[in-house]
Each structure stands twice: as structure tokens, then as C-alpha cells.
């Protein structure tokens, strides 16, 4: 099985002391994990919002390490994913539910590449398979 690491799971792994269950899961599955460019943008935006200081500097270093480690396993929001996103969000909007833009872009990436989303927020995703490593 292959996985798409959601923003909250990637952020957890950047902590000084990540939750043990999340860290153990990541170490056991690191070769089958992928990142979306959407997640990269969300993390980088979060770092940029921080005040200048040690925490921001430490997170920039952790972020650079994450980017380097995942360089060959980073998925773009390309034409095929955009098409999947349109199908996904259109279908749910016809049912009266508007999906959050960034989460639905991550979900479209997972659906396009047949990946399970690794997240703490399993209810944020409506069609892709999810896995909560905090509960593993």
C-alpha cells in the first residue's frame, strides 16, 4: 500500500518530539509515502506566519530536511489531478456539500494515484481511504 502524508501528519514528524505512534508508523512505511505540493505549501505558509525566532528557524531546517527526503516522492497538482479534483468537488457540490479547497486538492491527488491519506483528520476526506497513525 502507498500513502499520501497529509499536512498534519507531516507537521507532526517535524516536531522535536513527535507522537510515538506517528513516528513509528512513518519509520515503518517511509519508502511508500508521498507528499503533495499542496501539503508543502501549507507547511511553508505555516512557517512563514511564525514570528522570527528559534522555533521558526528550527522548523525551516526540519522543512528543508523533509523536502530533501521526499524529493523523489512529491506529487504535483497537474492536469490529471485537476481533472480528478473537478470530478470530486463537482459531485459533492451537487449533493449540497462544498469541500474545503486545499483538503479536496490533497484528496484528488490521493484518488488520482490510488493512495491512502495519512491524517489525524479522517473526516475531512470523503472518498479517499484514510489512515490515522495517532490511533495505530
Indicate whether 57 pLDDT > 90. yes
**Looking at residues 30-35, what average pLDDT do you find?**
97
pLDDT per residue as tens digits for the range 101-117: 999 999 999 999 999 99
- The answer to the question of residue 98 being in a domain is yes
Q: What is the CATH number of the domain that holds 61?
A: 3.40.50.1010
- The answer to the question of residue 51 being in a domain is yes
- The answer to the question of residue 71 being in a domain is yes
Domain region containing 117: 3-131
- The answer to the question of residue 19 being in a domain is yes
DSSP secondary structure string for all residues of 74-111: EE---HHHHHHHHHHHHHHHHTT-PPPHHHHHHHHHHH
pTM confidence score: 0.94
Within 13 Å of residue 71, how many CA atoms lie on the same side as its CB? Answer: 4
Give the count of domains, the chain: 1
Q: Which residues contact 98 (CB under 8 A, 6 or more apart)?
A: 89, 92
pLDDT per residue as tens digits for the range 38-53: 999 999 999 999 999 9
- The answer to the question of residue 136 being in a domain is no
The pLDDT > 70 percentage for the chain reads: 99
Amino acid at each position: 500500500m502507498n500513502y499520501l502524508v497529509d499536512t498534519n501528519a507531516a507537521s507532526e514528524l517535524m516536531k522535536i518530539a513527535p507522537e510515538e505512534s506517528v513516528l513509528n508508523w512513518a519509520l515503518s512505511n517511509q519508502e511508500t509515502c508521498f507528499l503533495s505540493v499542496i501539503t508543502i505549501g501549507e507547511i511553508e505558509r505555516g512557517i512563514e506566519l511564525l514570528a522570527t525566532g528559534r522555533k521558526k528557524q528550527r522548523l525551516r531546517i526540519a522543512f528543508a530536511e523533509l523536502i530533501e527526503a521526499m524529493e523523489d516522492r512529491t506529487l504535483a497538482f497537474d492536469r490529471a489531478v485537476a481533472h480528478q479534483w473537478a470530478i470530486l468537488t463537482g459531485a459533492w457540490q451537487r449533493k449540497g456539500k462544498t469541500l474545503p479547497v486545499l483538503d479536496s486538492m490533497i484528496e484528488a491527488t490521493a484518488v488520482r494515484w490510488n493512495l491512502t491519506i495519512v491524517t489525524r483528520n479522517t473526516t475531512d476526506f470523503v472518498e479517499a481511504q484514510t489512515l490515522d497513525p495517532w490511533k495505530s
